[in-house]
A and B are shown apart, each in its own frame.
Chain A
Amino acid sequence: MSRLDIKNGLVEMAHGSGGRASAALIDGLFTRHLDNALLRQGDDATLFEVSAGRMVISTDAHVVSPLFFPGGDIGSLSVHGTINDVAMSGAKPLYLSASFILEEGFSLAELEKIVISMAEASRLAGVPVVTGDTKVVESGKGDGVFISTTGIGVLAEGIRVSGDRAEAGDAIIVSGYIGDHGIAILSSRQGLEFDTQIQSDSAALHGLVADMVQAVPDIHCLRDPTRGGLATTLNELCKQSGVGMRIHETDISVRAEVKGACELLGLDPLYIANEGKLACICPKASAAKLISVMQAHPLGREAAVIGEVVADESRLVVMQTTFGGQRVVDWLAGEQLPRIC
């Protein structure tokens, strides 16, 4: 078997060929760090027992530039992102799969850092990676590393969380400070570099969700405001449920640094990505209970009600600004890019 020089080696086309080099990469790097009983089966498909009831599945492709950013990297992000997508159905995530597309010439040492970070995220979350795959593309045809992960989970009896269940009168809750992830990424992006203490909020939210659905099984909607930010998530929910929303800027938590970066770059925190926050729609009567449960969890300490669902044929999200005016909070158009004017 060919030796794997992690310290100085680079990804080569042979690592994706299915031959000895592939086996060396898988054994020496992937299974070594991601090790668990199911992965050790070593077959093309991993076998596990299923319980009775309902299951959920979600998949997510992860591309991020830069690969390493304050508060995380593509490895931890690919675990958190998919766990969160599964959790947003109210389910308990069980297993993950991971597929890697590596670019020829990428440093094996960096790859190992990414895999170690992935392994640690999955161990902390208690959701193992049980199957995986690796392919290599020629130099110049990838951006270092792309990681796709799929997660499956089980849904407890009586839980029905869905984006189409928001009703007029419901409360809108957000679990904490918004915009941290997007600003952390921007701060380390070439050409924009600025120094900040802001770290990505990348985190697995299934523990928080478990507490929430246990306390209030009748949660109507859960969604993690990733790309497009909170504004886009709320608009998605309005569209799916056929309702409008009225939110209050004063109740939405944004760190001073995130506000500062947004003023500097001409961005709006409502449209900046999060990777460890959730928005929740629940019956108004349950909101107080839910807030106290969330605040008791480390990832929901700043949870707050930010507004209410209203009947609105035009399905608009309207925000009462701190200034005292009202404005429509629309879908994100195009990409959120820094602007000069």
Chain B
Amino acid sequence: MCLAVPARVESLDDVSSTAMVDLDGIRKEVSTVLLDEINVGDYVLIHVGYALERIDPIEAEKTLLLFDELRDSEA
């Protein structure tokens, strides 16, 4: 359910509450009305033309590290 993909914020338009996002060379205008704080360079999840949520880069990194830890650790 709910196809959403992470894309990078390239520019913001506060007047229309939209952002131009980039996904590996695909640029699309999306609505930012669902997010309070959003900055150029952030990665956001895009669903039906709306930015749903910011991807937290630190947590994303931790998840990747956790893969290695889980692999090596006993519960």
Chain A interface (Cβ < 8 Å from any Cβ of B):
187, 193-198, 255-257, 259-261, 263-264, 266, 339-341
In the assembled complex, the Cα of A341 lies from the Cα of B48 at a distance in Å of 10
Chain B interface (Cβ < 8 Å from any Cβ of A):
1-3, 5, 7, 23-28, 46-48
Q: Are A257 and B24 in contact (CB under 8 A)?
A: yes
Interface core residue of A198, A261, A264, A339 (most chain B CB under 10 Å): A264
Q: Are A263 and B23 in contact (CB under 8 A)?
A: yes
Selected from B7, B26, B48, the residue in CB contact (under 8 A) with A195 is B26
Sample 12 A-B pairs with CB under 8 A, ordered by A number.
Answer: A195-B27, A196-B25, A196-B27, A257-B24, A257-B26, A260-B26, A264-B7, A264-B28, A264-B46, A340-B3, A341-B1, A341-B2
Give, as a whole number of angstroms, the nearest-CB distance from B2 to chain A: 6
In the assembled complex, the Cα of A133 lies from the Cα of B52 at a distance in Å of 53
**Chain A residues with CB under 8 A of B5:** 263-264
Residue of B whose beta carbon sits closest to that of A265? B3
- The interface residues of chain B, by DSSP majority, are classed as strand
Q: Are B28 and A195 in contact (CB under 8 A)?
A: yes
Q: Are B47 and A259 in contact (CB under 8 A)?
A: no
Give, as a whole number of angstroms, the nearest-CB distance from A285 to chain B: 38
Interface core residue of B3, B23, B24, B26 (most chain A CB under 10 Å): B26
**Chain B residues with CB under 8 A of A257:** 24-26
Using A264-B46, A340-B47, A340-B48 as known contacts, say yes or no to A256 and B1 having CB atoms under 8 A apart: no
Using A264-B46, A340-B47 as known contacts, say yes or no to A259 and B24 having CB atoms under 8 A apart: yes
**Chain B residues with CB under 8 A of A197:** 25
Q: Are A340 and B2 in contact (CB under 8 A)?
A: yes
In the assembled complex, the Cα of A261 lies from the Cα of B3 at a distance in Å of 13
**Chain B residues with CB under 8 A of A193:** 28
In the assembled complex, the Cα of A206 lies from the Cα of B2 at a distance in Å of 43
**Chain B residues with CB under 8 A of A259:** 24
Q: Are A266 and B26 in contact (CB under 8 A)?
A: no
In the assembled complex, the Cα of A339 lies from the Cα of B28 at a distance in Å of 16
